[in-house]
Structure 1
Amino acid sequence: MSGLSVEAWAKVNLYLHVTGRRDDGYHLLDSLVAFAGIGDTITVSPSSALSLTVDGPTAARLDVDDDNIVLRAARALAQAAGRPPQAHLHLTKRLPVAAGIGGGSADAAATLRALSRLWGVRLAPAALHALALSLGADVPVCLRGRPTRMSGIGETLADAPSLPPAWVVLVNPLIGLSTPAVFKARQGCFSDPMPLESRPADAAALARMLAARDNDLSAAAISLVPEIAVILTALNRDGCLLARMSGSGATCFGLFPDPAAAAAAAAAIAADYPAWWIKSASLISST
């Protein structure tokens, strides 16, 4: 389809600490967010009305209605810019839905970037950040699209050290997992923030740094979707430097030092579990 296209990269929480809880019930987080070189694509083109079409290998699992986050992002940007929401949006969906890798949030962020270019909109950074946050807690970090320390409820963002060359294998059992349900199931104490203070020298050093941290939502997610534990076991094979769940699940990632090791692991897991969604990709490393 012709038009202006923007990639919506998969978000990967390399670690995720739950550091507290606000009086309104929202949890406070400390997380290192990176992005993998696989994702959805948003294509926008001029139109006299606002419309959305969807295709792609995981499109059948997506609810496409007036409340879809892509359409909400378009309407919100148009309102902020004081213009009618006139565009045709096309989403090529490759990421699984409700998977802990920010698919919907990344799609919304890509929509904001694409329509800002199509419509010639230049919102002030603070206004664009607030608009993104109104769409969802992960939309601001997806709008940045680079390694970021995320804290607060997702609204406080800071540059993280750049990452060394590294590759991930992403695995999802194609079972949707509700983020609120995972937080509700979580038990235990809160964790301290542990931001990375320096750039890891290589993928192995990154894995060592991450091993001193955790994903505090893993146990709760496994209690709801036991397949997550099976995925982590499957990822822990020769060549894997670290296996961990991303976000609130159910997607997990394995960290690998080179593309050949990641591709071999992805192929081996796919042979054992052909019904799962399994992809290898590079981490987007630069700040």
Structure 2
Amino acid sequence: MPLLTTRAPAKINLTLHVLGRRPGDGYHVLESLVAFAGVGDALTLDPGPELSLSVSGPTAGPAGPTGDNLVVRAARHLAEALPDLRLGAFDLVKRLPVAAGIGGGSSDAAAALRLLAELNGLPFDHPAVVAAARATGADVPVCLDPRARMMRGAGEEIGPALGMQPFPAVLINPGVPVPTAPVFKALGLRVGDRLNGAPHPGIGPGSGVEALVAAIGPARNDLEAPALTVAPAIGTALAALRTQAGCRLARMSGSGATVFAVFADRHSASRAARAIGSTQPTWWTVATYLR
């Protein structure tokens, strides 16, 4: 059988409201509008009798040992649910920065589940596939079908695809890995606590860039302030974006350190990425589309 291939796009939290920490499991309850970028990792599956993983690419080193990679974890969870599952050798090309707030590992895991589903003739929404995604990580389910949608709860509540028009953006990672746990610790919520903030705005299907900016402008990322105490470089990257011509909105994604800006048009986004890249050559800076 020929190789199966797919992309694992960066996941961008256009908004991220933290509603509180629920009793019992202590998970933070979120409400987030998620979109996916035109940049990402690449994953290939060579069908065969044994599960394996090789990792290459510019960010392969920081991705960590292959035995603990989320690609392998996701495949094992699915194989446990479906003992006759056909497996094979995965080859992952890592291009996205690691511990960056853009769901690189989660998107890789979701890509692995899509390839295994394709190999085994399963739909992406097969109960075993969805269960394996949930068991692998909170952000994996929303990455199974990477299109803009709302994500709620601890990642288990996935809304329908919104069909938003692709819109130009610039992504920046200032080269500072930011693990999620210290950011949530800095937020300081105890189990049972709730955050009182304005409710999340409604997002209409098929929104263009103007309608999107108008809708999410009053929203927020509740992890941005605590992340700034962990990695002040996030503020420097945001400031660089906000000074660029055509920038309509700049915000942090996830728990950082990646930030993004929505631009009026692709030419403005490309110019901004070139300008920032020339002054900050060590940053990961890319102009792309979100959808």
TM-score of the two chains, using structure 2 as the length reference: 0.92
Distance 2:51 2:126 in 1: 25
Secondary structure at 2:15's aligned position in 1?
strand
1:14 and 2:21 correspond: no
Q: Deviations over 1:10-56 (max 9, x none)?
A: 10100000012111221101110011111011100022322111111
- Offset, 1:124: 5.9
Q: Structure 1 CA distance, aligned partners of 2:163 and 2:52?
A: 38
Is the alpha carbon distance of 1:259 and 1:185 closer, same or farther for their aligned partners in structure 2, counting shifts above 3 Å? same
Give the aligned partner of residue 264 of structure 1: 271
**Equivalent AA in structure 1 for residue 11 of structure 2:** K
Which has the larger displacement, 104-113 or 174-183? 174-183
**2:36 and 2:290 in contact (8 A); partners too:** yes
Counterpart of 1:128?
Answer: 129
Equivalent-residue separation in structure 2 for 1:174 and 1:25 (angstroms): 30
The one-letter amino acid of 2:277's match is A
Q: Within 5 Å, which residues of 2 pair with 1:185-204?
A: 185-187=186-188, 189-199=195-205, 201-204=207-210
Q: How far apart are the structure 2 equivalents of 1:123 and 1:210? A: 29
Deviation of the 1:187 alpha carbon: 4.5
Deviation digits for residues 53-80 of structure 1, max 9, x if unmatched? 1111211221023121111111112222
Q: Which residue identity is paired with 1:87?
A: G
CA distance in 1, matches of 2:117, 2:212: 35
Is contact 1:34-1:148 (8 Å) kept? yes
Distance 1:174 1:50 in 2: 32
Return the offset for 1:257. 2.3
Equivalent position of 1:274 in the other structure? 281
Q: What residue is the counterpart of 1:110 in the other structure? A: 111
* Higher deviation after alignment, 273-282 or 164-173: 164-173
Amino acid corresponding to residue 217 of structure 2 in structure 1? A
Q: How does 1:183-262 map to 2 (within 5 A)?
A: 183-187=184-188, 189-199=195-205, 201-236=207-242, 237-262=244-269
Give yes or no for contact 1:19–1:29 (8 Å, CA) kept in 2.
yes
CA positional deviation for 1:160: 5.2
- Alignment-derived partner of residue 164 in structure 2: 163
Structure-1 separation of matches of 2:196 and 2:106: 26
Whether the 8 Å CA contact 1:149–1:195 is kept in 2: the answer is no
Q: For 1:109-158, what per-residue CA distance to the aligned partner results, in whole angstroms no more than 9, with x for missing partners?
A: 00000111123345763332222111000000001211111111110111
Structure 1 residues 18 and 190, CA gap change in structure 2 (3 angstroms): farther
SS of corresponding position for 1:249: coil
Write the distance in 1 (CA, Å) between the matches of 2:89 and 2:203. Answer: 43
Which range moves more in the overlay, 166-175 or 185-194? 185-194
For 2:30, the equivalent position in structure 1 comes to 29
Does the 8 A contact of 1:32 with 1:195 survive in 2? no
Amino acid at match of 1:263: S
Structure 1 window deviating more from structure 2 (96-105 vs 161-170): it is 161-170
Q: CA RMSD for the aligned pairs? A: 1.8
Change (3 A) 1:131 1:195: farther
Aligned residues of 1:81 and 1:123 also touching (Cα < 8 A): no
Q: Which residue of 2 aligns with 1:4?
A: 4
Distance 1:130 1:190 in 2: 32
| Structure 1 segment 84-103 matched on structure 2, within 5 A | 86-103=87-104
Superposed, 1:36-55 pairs within 5 Å as 36-55=37-56
Code of the residue aligned with 2:274 in structure 1: it is A
Aligned length: 283
Asked if structure 1 preserves the Cα contact closer than 8 Å seen for 2:187 and 2:223, the reply is yes
In structure 2, stretches of 5+ residues that fail to align are: 190-194
**Which ranges in structure 1 are unaligned for 5 or more consecutive residues?**
none
Q: Distance in 2 between matches of 1:160 and 1:84?
A: 28
Task: State, as a whole percentage, how many aligned pairs show the same letter.
Answer: 47
Give the match's secondary structure for 1:115.
Answer: helix
